[in-house]
Structure 1
Amino acid sequence: MKHLILGGILTLFSCSFLLSQTKVGGQVYDSNKQPIPFANIVFVNSTVGTITDENGRFYMESDDNHSSIKISFIGFETKTIKLTKKVTYNMEITLAEEAAALDEVVIYKGKTSKKNNPAIDILRKIWKNRRVNGVKKFKQYQYDKYEKLEFDLNTIDSALINSRIFNGMEFIFDDVDTSRITGKTYLPIFLNEAISQVYGDNTSNDYKEVLKGNKNAGFSDNQTLIAFVKDLYSDYDVYDNYLKFFDKSFTSPLSRTGIDVYNYVLSDSAYIDNKWCYNIVYYPRRKNELTFQGDFWVNDTTWAIKDINLEVTKSANINWVKDLYIEQEFDVLNDSIFLITKDYFQSDFAFSKKEKSRGVYGKRTTLYDNYKFDVKKNKKFYKTQVDPYDQDIYNREDSFWQNARMEELNKDEKKVYKLLDTLRTVKAFKRLYNIGTILASGYVEFNGFDFGPLFSTVGFNAIEGWRVRAGGRTYFTPNDRWRIEGYGAYGFRDNKFKYGVSGKYLVDRKSRLIVSAGNRRDVEQLGASLTNTNDVEGRSLASSSIVTTGDNTRLTSINLSAFSMQIEPRKNFTFGVTGSFRTLKPADRALFSLDFIDEDTNELRSEIKQTEISTQLAYTPGRKTTGYGVDRITVNDGDFATLFLNYSVGVKGILESDFDYQKVQFFYRQPWNIGGFGVLNSSLELGKTYGEVPLGLLSVVPGNQTYLSIYNTFPLLNFYEFVTDTYASLHLEHNFNGRIFSRIPLLRKLNLRELVGIRGVWGELSEENLLLSAPSNEILIAPDDEVYWEYSFGVGNIFKIFRIDFHFRGNYFDNPDARKFGVTGSFGFYF
């Protein structure tokens, strides 16, 4: 989401101009002056048309000259209106109710019937043939792909033009144009082009896309923004049951479940490219669900889609997106096979869904050409990773683009490149750009150094009291091969200074061999997560949260030094080795104890010294990243599986290390998209420690004494309530994305989203480890009698940014200070 903020601010600048011959717009009413939603409107003697939205409004345009439009809707008389001008806005059209239906036409009012409906008969034939249409009909396929991404500031009016924010940049408004989809004025501010070659094998499910050229206006070094925008508009197939956009699964009108959520009407039939096609209009049966409205043309022999338009209804439960429009075109190959040739996607990002609200258009145009089939490639071809960071790709000459583009840029799109290069020299623009960067990254940029992150400047805990922190990092470009980070912090209650410093270097770009080292001296809440890390920059939210429940006094002073090497031999598969030495002692011994008996001297010790060597394997299939320096940014957070295996060995004697042990830990996280039923997030953690270790080295089940909803913790457990040396933990959380609330009349308009969760942990603690930690006088309990479990109910999307969760304890009510019920919340910007 942070990159969306940056993208939105960057979208305050540019220009474009599209010429059309005929433009019409307005609103359709019935005789009682009530808007008619989903009415069908077409230019007479053409297949160019649209349907009205939920408020009866429409807009459409064509590059050709048209003299009249036809308006029709089930249960109303069809009306034809002559156009006296090429551009006609604000039309008010009234349809009269139909006295009697024609014998040869089946008329449906309200919700259309699922029986004896010719449109649904056609839909069933589409289902039957959808797997033998397009590239899926062949064993292998390849084609060329041209993709154009654009951001536009929309609803340009005098108030915006005269706004103080654009002082010194008034020249950008010299050219504005009108959207052919919405009829709104807009000003382009970002343009990116990419040329690729795509290869696929349907027998082995292999796929490879080779980027041949990339060009963008004004921000060639901002690959993070480009990658984020591309991920917003990820590829989709209209034949699939669900289409995923903005982390939401929308029901496709071609879905087998479509008849339960859509009304279908057979509207028209005509020849398109010498093929007889039927036109079907569809619209949702209920409001507030993730559905579309629109129409499609389907061939009468192959039952393949020729053209399709999809527009998200304004009542759909999606935030920050006012409008979303898709159109796809298909051409015929060998007289029978329909292949996609054009895909157009437009979204309107806005804080409000009101008609006159200002927003930012995001547009993607994708063209496909030069299809070839059954040209087999070997496995090595698909496995060989092409260097995605070849600088030649991002610096192609103009002659390359003139020959490679499948669609010429119009004259005003060409202006975008020159305009944004000019804008970057304007002081007013630089100020806006810097503000956007701070909001997106949390850092204040200086020449080669970033100060921050600003969001961790202030914290509070029982030991340090109020805590202030200041830090920064070296930063010359997003693709630096080395980076140094550091911070300093001070607690006003313990009057102690803390710090952390680390550095890392990318030795080899191809294998991503990275070496890193650092040291940290700080106060931490150990046991905030089951899976250990030795990140010297890391800090638990639990030890810096401003508001907590109960006494959070079990904090540890840690002095950690670490050196590590990491390599990525295959994409999204990493192997790492870390050597670390740490000392642990209570931050305040009067409040918390880590005491143990030293077996060699038989003395009481309160400080642990430990040398450890860890080997980590991580696999993240489906993860998308950007950048080719020592740091990379993940652009699809939470949308891929994560598998992590850690094997650690404690070595006694090295640097006065205290214990020999072995620890094995496994972590698996997987999001599951369940179509229209939402998203299920699951995580599994397993671990075991072999050998005798004291409390400071045991596995603490992560409690949560903050009022923040933190995934993979147990909200009703206090810190150190359960301690283990062997454990198994499972977390399940399902977000229905408003599917239930959308069917409750009083809640429907609030666009709330319902969440349910259940989590459990089982663990053991050996007698030897209990006796070793006995001097600490801490009550150590493991959930070995039965699995400890909790469940929760949550309501999300409150005012679009707030979520509240209600938690209930399932057992172990006799534990000291056990909490039976709790409430947590969180803020966030989610679609």
Structure 2
Amino acid sequence: MAYKKIQKLLIALIFILIYQNTNAQYVITGVVTDAKNGDPLPFATVGLKGVNVGAQTNFEGVYVIKSKVLTDSIYVSTVNYKKRTKVLDKKALSQKIDFQLQGETKSLDEVVVYSGENPAFKILRKLNENRERNDRKRLSAFEYDSYSKMELDVDNISEKFKERKVMKQIQGAIAKFEKLAGEDGKAVIPTFISETISKYYFRESPSRKKEVILKNNIKGVGVKEGGFVSQLVGGNLFANYNFYDNFVPFLGKDIISPFGENWKGTYKWFLSDTTDVDGHICYGLEFDPKNDKDLVFVGKAYVDTTSYALVQIDATIGKEANINFIDKIKISQELEQTTEGAWLPAKTRFLVDIAELSKNSAGMLLKMYISNKDFVINKPKDLSFYDIPIEVAEDSKEPDPNYWLGARHESLSAQDILASRLIDTVRNVPIVKTYVEVAEIIASGYKRFNKFGIGPYINLFSVNKVEGFRMRLGFKTNSQFSKEWILKGWAGFGTKDLVLKYGGEVDYILSRRHWTVVGAKHSYDLERIGLTPELIGDNKIFYAFSRWGAFSGAFYRRESEVFIKTEPTKGFTFTGALTTRGFDPLFQFQYRTIPQEGPKSPTLDHYDDTFFTIEARFAKNETFLMDGNERITLGSKRIPTVTLTYQHGMRTLNGDFSYDKFMAKVFQSFRIGTLGRSDYTLQAGYIPTVLPAPLLFPHLGNETFFYNRAAFNTMHYFEFVSDKYVSLNYNHNFDGLLFNRIPAIRQLKWRLIASANVLFGSQRTENTELMQEAIPVINPRHIKGELQPRYSFSGLESDKPYIEVGYGIDNIFKIFRLQAFHRLSYLDHVSPSGRIPSPFALKGSVHFSF
């Protein structure tokens, strides 16, 4: 009897085990990341080997597989990465398996064979047909809450680089990160990490955008928390990518969008699969560039099968593309449909992997993640609301950890938490502090102290024939000294002329919202005719180098000025100034004081000039960042920047002349499809009054070996002077369009450049006669040494333009530009120095650009 009971119990137990086994469900989870940089890989296919069971990673690179069967291994594969396989534990019902994938180059030509039309083309045509109803541009306005996270790391750390002194002091921290990176991952050293809560606003017509930084949490090596850094970490103004546009701007480059007008001519396409993406059944499309040296993406996208809207995209630019110092640029975006039908970015992740400069150095890695939610559609704000594109709340710094626990859209990862701790360790290492300080001096030009800075270093010394060895030292205060007052000053001295030069300026910020500044300044310095700061403009390097060498056309100038500058409405800047200047030349110079008496007129060899200036500048959609008490422009893309200036000279406050001067300037940079990017500067000026030549319009020449895009590069200094003129400076960069298609040199990433400079001008007879011989100066000034030779102030022929054309190669060894110029007119003209200029000039420059 007992035996039968045991038998029944065993039979029941067997049935229970069989039932449990047949209904068992295995759960496998994990994260798929890039082994080099830790970036999550969306759209990766994960499956059990030998059976048709699998899943796809989401936007965070996470996958979940639930299966009633379990094989011995699991694999993962995705575009441009090596396939990986790992062994499974057959005894475990639940297990976590992460993958770190190594990148590889893949060409769709190797795996795709089509009969008839590519099936992806039909989907792409449908996407373009439905572009207007899906594109965010159809919305009159939108706004949303945003959370962004940014991290800057040191990566690609070579073994030799680890042996350096600075690295040995943080070896313990590096070891922790190597462990966290995973069995196949590589270590990175975080140097900056931030998270930001903001509100983003956009208005379509007229186009306006604004981001309000509500809270931020910033920690970094060498980073001083403040408004400037807080503006940079918001992200939405810089990473609001729209792949429906023909080009996606990034790092100053225009990347051809796979969904722009040239989708068929630029990319190869492959229809890969159909899958569910957050409730939307989508076509999977892989795209690959036809020429990987062009500015193009490679990647995968998902398009909704019903609305034909772009739902998700993962787009990468590899190191083969014609971009400098970059191993990889990756943009991933997930979009969400609004109530009006258009789609807005819900999640965006971008990564910039900066290559190491040498084999024994290290690279840099910039990562940013943006999450947006709570969309509000078609409720535009008043135009004045958008006046300040980036606004930081007064109480934006939020140190309370409990606040961030509830404010984050997603929790921090274990690597994020360790990164924050590691930064605290690294930034306190003494040698790191030294490196940071040196880098800051190079970047800003100033050695910064608590409330002021000393510099700029580029003007510390120079050597020329007039001053000998010239030394100069200056300072300026910062926002820690005062948020309203700005003080600047400098002093210089030459060992040959033994004359003290000096300058000082006091500014007061009346309004930051409409950027209104009033100020006064005074200076006494040695300048060069035709090379004054107002003529050279913002090219401070060219101005600094112009102080070296022969220094012909030298004169002492005493200058005093009071001014006001304001931006009453966005894009429009108004400047008013009252200025007095003294002209005291060191070369033979004279002008007739009573022109109507001709040769019988008395002459003077110096003058004083008093004038007021009214200037209006219009730059639509120009965006500024505030760096303490200074505004930094991010430019005005595609829209011309127009500047109109009027000056009136007065015979008051010691002024010797009464005159009117009118000037206009237009600058624009624009894209010409796949042909590259152009920019032009169109200028014009008119003076109806009789004046000495230095007060007319001297045209900027260039006698150096350095290229200057604002100058006429085959013209000598002060070779031509006009009282009315029109000029055009045009430059075009083909962005590798030609060299990318020449097999022998395409790896060099050279870029063909071309330019043309044209000048129409003239000088009236009255102005020419004003500078001719007359009664000599009665009481000439006492000047140490001999006077430099007399200048001739030639004008252009009214019906004969000055023309020069140029061509050359940019991006030689990634930093050099070499350009040849041919002078096509005035080939026999004698320059002020008595020489006939060469019709050919070769100019070079050094610049860092992506």
Verify same fold: TM over 0.5.
yes
Q: Distance in 1 between matches of 2:105 and 2:770?
A: 85
Given the superposition, is the C-alpha separation of residues 787 and 614 from structure 1 closer, same or farther in structure 2, using an over 3 Å criterion?
A: same
TM-score normalised according to structure 2 size:
0.81
Code of the residue aligned with 2:525 in structure 1: it is D
Q: Distance in 2 between matches of 1:788 and 1:115?
A: 57
Give the match for residue 192 of structure 2: 190
Name the stretch that deviates more: 231-240 or 86-95.
86-95
Q: Distance in 2 between matches of 1:353 and 1:677?
A: 32
Q: Does 1:597 align with 2:593?
A: yes
Work out which of the residue numbers 72, 75, 79 in structure 2 matches 1:69. Answer: 75
Asked if the contact 1:486/1:500 (under 8 Å) is kept, the reply is yes
The structural deviation recorded for 1:202 is: 4.4
Give the match for residue 3 of structure 1: none
Asked if the contact 2:216/2:230 (under 8 Å) is kept, the reply is no
The structural deviation recorded for 1:507 is: 3.2
Code of the residue aligned with 1:21 in structure 2: it is G
Asked if the contact 2:387/2:569 (under 8 Å) is kept, the reply is no
Give the match for residue 618 of structure 2: 619
Q: Give the match's secondary structure for 2:130.
A: helix
Give the match for residue 782 of structure 2: none
Q: With CA pairs under 8 Å and 6+ residues apart, which has the higher RCO, 1 or 2?
A: 1
The structural deviation recorded for 1:424 is: 5.0
Unaligned runs of 5+ in 1: 1-18, 28-39, 51-59, 98-106
Given the superposition, is the C-alpha separation of residues 786 and 87 from structure 1 closer, same or farther in structure 2, using an over 3 Å criterion?
A: same
Give the match for residue 287 of structure 1: 292
Q: Distance in 2 between matches of 1:339 and 1:349?
A: 29
Q: Distance in 2 between matches of 1:483 and 1:243?
A: 39
Code of the residue aligned with 2:593 in structure 1: it is I
The structural deviation recorded for 1:819 is: 2.4
Give the match for residue 410 of structure 1: 413
Give the match for residue 242 of structure 1: 247
Give the match for residue 801 of structure 1: 815
Write the mapping of 1:355-434 to structure 2, written as runs, cut at 5 A. Answer: 358-374=362-378, 376-377=379-380, 379-380=382-383, 382=385, 388-395=391-398, 397-414=400-417, 416-417=419-420, 420=423, 425-434=428-437
TM-score normalised according to structure 1 size:
0.83
Q: Distance in 2 between matches of 1:278 and 1:526?
A: 67
Q: Does 1:321 align with 2:326?
A: yes
Give the match for residue 676 of structure 1: 674
The structural deviation recorded for 1:351 is: 3.3
Deviation by residue 1:618-667 (Cα, 9 ceiling, x = unmatched): 23333332227542233559887532222111111x23321110111111
Work out which of the residue numbers 485, 490, 494 in structure 1 matches 2:493. Answer: 490
Q: Distance in 1 between matches of 2:676 and 2:64?
A: 43
Asked if the contact 1:468/1:491 (under 8 Å) is kept, the reply is yes
Work out which of the residue numbers 262, 266, 269 in structure 2 matches 1:257. Answer: 262
Give the match for residue 100 of structure 1: none
Q: Distance in 2 between matches of 1:803 and 1:360?
A: 25
Q: Give the match's secondary structure for 2:121.
A: helix
Q: Does 1:350 align with 2:355?
A: yes
Give the match for residue 50 of structure 2: none
Work out which of the residue numbers 761, 764, 788 in structure 2 matches 1:763. Answer: 761
Q: Distance in 2 between matches of 1:93 and 1:236?
A: 26
Q: Distance in 1 between matches of 2:518 and 2:306?
A: 61
Work out which of the residue numbers 439, 443, 446 in structure 1 matches 2:446. Answer: 443
Asked if the contact 2:208/2:621 (under 8 Å) is kept, the reply is no
Asked if the contact 2:55/2:65 (under 8 Å) is kept, the reply is no
Given the superposition, is the C-alpha separation of residues 377 and 571 from structure 1 closer, same or farther in structure 2, using an over 3 Å criterion?
A: closer
Code of the residue aligned with 2:199 in structure 1: it is Q
Q: Give the match's secondary structure for 1:429.
A: helix
The structural deviation recorded for 1:539 is: 7.3
Q: Distance in 2 between matches of 1:70 and 1:595?
A: 84
Name the stretch that deviates more: 262-271 or 133-142.
133-142
Asked if the contact 2:210/2:390 (under 8 Å) is kept, the reply is no
Q: Does 1:703 align with 2:701?
A: yes
Q: Distance in 2 between matches of 1:539 and 1:272?
A: 53
Give the match for residue 820 of structure 1: 839
Give the match for residue 21 of structure 1: 30
Work out which of the residue numbers 659, 663, 666 in structure 2 matches 1:665. Answer: 663
Asked if the contact 1:288/1:315 (under 8 Å) is kept, the reply is yes
Name the stretch that deviates more: 421-430 or 289-298.
421-430
Unaligned runs of 5+ in 2: 1-27, 37-42, 48-52, 67-72, 90-96, 774-789, 831-835
Given the superposition, is the C-alpha separation of residues 688 and 335 from structure 1 closer, same or farther in structure 2, using an over 3 Å criterion?
A: closer
Given the superposition, is the C-alpha separation of residues 542 and 446 from structure 1 closer, same or farther in structure 2, using an over 3 Å criterion?
A: closer
The structural deviation recorded for 1:612 is: 1.2
The structural deviation recorded for 1:79 is: 9.2
The structural deviation recorded for 1:159 is: 5.2
The structural deviation recorded for 1:193 is: 2.2
Given the superposition, is the C-alpha separation of residues 127 and 510 from structure 1 closer, same or farther in structure 2, using an over 3 Å criterion?
A: closer
Given the superposition, is the C-alpha separation of residues 760 and 360 from structure 1 closer, same or farther in structure 2, using an over 3 Å criterion?
A: same
Given the superposition, is the C-alpha separation of residues 802 and 226 from structure 1 closer, same or farther in structure 2, using an over 3 Å criterion?
A: farther
RMSD between aligned alpha carbons?
Answer: 3.9
Give the match for residue 43 of structure 1: 46
Code of the residue aligned with 2:480 in structure 1: it is T
Code of the residue aligned with 1:586 in structure 2: it is P
Q: Does 1:512 align with 2:515?
A: yes
The structural deviation recorded for 1:187 is: 2.8
Give the match for residue 742 of structure 1: 740
Give the match for residue 555 of structure 1: 554
Code of the residue aligned with 1:120 in structure 2: it is F
Asked if the contact 1:684/1:729 (under 8 Å) is kept, the reply is yes
Q: Does 1:787 align with 2:804?
A: no
The structural deviation recorded for 1:704 is: 1.0
Q: Give the match's secondary structure for 2:525.
A: strand
Asked if the contact 2:387/2:570 (under 8 Å) is kept, the reply is no
Identical positions, percent: 26
Q: Does 1:606 align with 2:605?
A: yes
Q: Distance in 2 between matches of 1:184 and 1:630?
A: 41
Asked if the contact 2:213/2:392 (under 8 Å) is kept, the reply is no
Asked if the contact 2:576/2:612 (under 8 Å) is kept, the reply is yes
Given the superposition, is the C-alpha separation of residues 803 and 351 from structure 1 closer, same or farther in structure 2, using an over 3 Å criterion?
A: farther
The structural deviation recorded for 1:272 is: 3.2
Code of the residue aligned with 1:132 in structure 2: it is R
Q: Distance in 1 between matches of 2:293 and 2:745?
A: 10
Given the superposition, is the C-alpha separation of residues 712 and 225 from structure 1 closer, same or farther in structure 2, using an over 3 Å criterion?
A: same
Q: Give the match's secondary structure for 1:659.
A: coil
The structural deviation recorded for 1:684 is: 1.1
Deviation by residue 1:139-196 (Cα, 9 ceiling, x = unmatched): 4433222222211222357655553114554554363166799943223221222222
Code of the residue aligned with 2:758 in structure 1: it is G
Asked if the contact 1:112/1:263 (under 8 Å) is kept, the reply is no
Q: Does 1:569 align with 2:568?
A: yes
Q: Does 1:580 align with 2:579?
A: yes
Give the match for residue 70 of structure 2: none
The structural deviation recorded for 1:598 is: 5.2
The structural deviation recorded for 1:112 is: 7.2
Given the superposition, is the C-alpha separation of residues 69 and 332 from structure 1 closer, same or farther in structure 2, using an over 3 Å criterion?
A: farther
The structural deviation recorded for 1:493 is: 4.4
Q: Give the match's secondary structure for 2:766.
A: helix
Asked if the contact 1:613/1:648 (under 8 Å) is kept, the reply is yes
Q: Distance in 2 between matches of 1:476 and 1:141?
A: 34
Q: Give the match's secondary structure for 2:470.
A: strand
Q: Give the match's secondary structure for 1:655.
A: coil
The structural deviation recorded for 1:89 is: 6.6
Given the superposition, is the C-alpha separation of residues 190 and 777 from structure 1 closer, same or farther in structure 2, using an over 3 Å criterion?
A: closer
